[in-house]
Amino acid sequence: MDRRMFLGTLAGGLLAAPLAAGGQPAKKVYRIGFLDFISPDVLHANSKDFLSGLHNLAYVEGRDFIMEYRFAAGHKERLPELAADLVRANVDVIVTYGTPPTMALKRATQTIPIVFLSAADVVEKGIVASLAQPGGNVTGLQLHMDETKVLQLLKEAVPTVARVVFLYDPAVFPGEFLETALQRRRAEAQALNVELHPVAVRDRNGVGPAFAEFARGTNGLWVEAADVLVMTSGQVCSLALQRRLAAIGYGFWFANAGFLMSYGEDVRDMHRRAAGFVDKILKGAKPGDLPVEQPTKFDLIINLKTAKALGLTIPPALLQRADQVIE
């Protein structure tokens, strides 16, 4: 190539490159997908915390990235369609909240990086190969549920609790693990002199029928952090109060909805930390090389307004241990 041809090629290449103000090449604006089972209003706090984490890392929405949101609004059957839609949107990375959306996306793409804000049993459900070496295109933060602690706290707050209903969504447990999980919870309850009665809620219309299954003498309620139960937490709380049940939920949503108590990981902290995974991936890291992290903070929230409505006095020692008290 002679000198004139070289200079012409160089000039053409420079002219073809997009220029920003000041003649600099335009900075890439990343597209971040976001998939969730529940509706935008319920998830607002979660997406807000994730965005806060990105902002803490100097990312500015609109300048450095744009979000592509997809919400199933409680319809699990829509997750595969929404996952495929995000794949077609050609996003750089996809963030998920919860186990079902993560599994739907893992089936939809083996190439686009996926970061779960929080999900449970990720090894058992085949989402990652291991916590230390996830492999593939998925990583994030795993929930670390301590079911025994939940029931211990309810029993400590209300020593008279003896018959407790456990509300759960069967879809949260892989088929062969469901009965094992329920047996473990019954054994843990029995050790606390509590009789546990599991009752399933499969969709948003199942809350009323589930309460109709409560046996006479039930005086406690334990609700797991399934998406369908988070979405219906207000309805569950209202029915529990009508029956004057001392209720505890796994996750801050439930105390905020009016339950007597809630306990669980500080998922807001987890969602902020998830921004670090996205940052590393956008800078070239492979998801499979980023170990899955676990929670470092757990929150106990006590709702004294509800305690008063139920005529209960929470032991002072328990109140002192609470991370938040709603008055």
Q: CB–CB of 281/311 below 8 Å?
A: no
| 3-state SS class at 179 | helix
DSSP 198: E
* pLDDT-based confidence at residue 90 (cuts at 50, 70, 90): very high
Are 129 and 137 spatial neighbours (Cβ–Cβ below 8 Å)? no
User: In the chain, what are the domain boundaries?
Assistant: 27-144+266-289, 147-265+298-326
| pLDDT score of 246 more than 60 | yes
Q: Pick from 147, 157, 134: which is nearest to 185 by CA?
A: 147
Number of residues assigned to the chain: 327
CATH architecture of 147-265+298-326: 3-Layer(aba) Sandwich (3.40)
- Tell me: the pLDDT tens digits for 279-299? 999 999 999 999 999 998 999
pTM of the model: 0.82
Tell me, what's the pLDDT at 155? 96
The CATH class for the domain spanning 27-144+266-289 reads alpha beta
- What's the pLDDT score for residue 6? 41
Across the chain, which distance is largest between two alpha carbons, in Å?
93
In this predicted structure, what is the pLDDT of residue 249? 94
The whole-number average pLDDT for the span 68-82 is 90
pLDDT in tens, 6-35: 444 444 444 444 555 555 566 899 999 999
- Report the sign of the C-alpha dihedral through residues 196, 201, 204, 207, in that order: negative
Assess contact for 74 and 203: CB atoms under 8 A. yes
Q: How many CB atoms lie within 10 A of CB 67?
A: 17
- 116 closest CA partner among 83, 147, 84: 83
- Give me 132's structure tokens: 């230390």
Query: What local confidence, expressed as pLDDT, does residue 172 receive?
Result: 77
Token digits for 179? Answer: 């009965």
Fold agreement (27-144+266-289, 147-265+298-326): yes
The H-assigned helical ranges of the chain are: 3-16, 40-56, 79-88, 99-108, 147-157, 178-191, 207-212, 227-231, 233-242, 252-257, 267-282, 304-309, 316-321
Contact 117, 140 (CB under 8 A): yes
CB-neighbour burial class of residue 106 (10 A; exposed 0-12, middle 13-18, buried 19+): buried
Q: What is the rounded distance in angstroms from the CA atom of residue 262 to the CA atom of residue 11?
A: 64
Is 50 a residue whose pLDDT tops 80?
Answer: yes
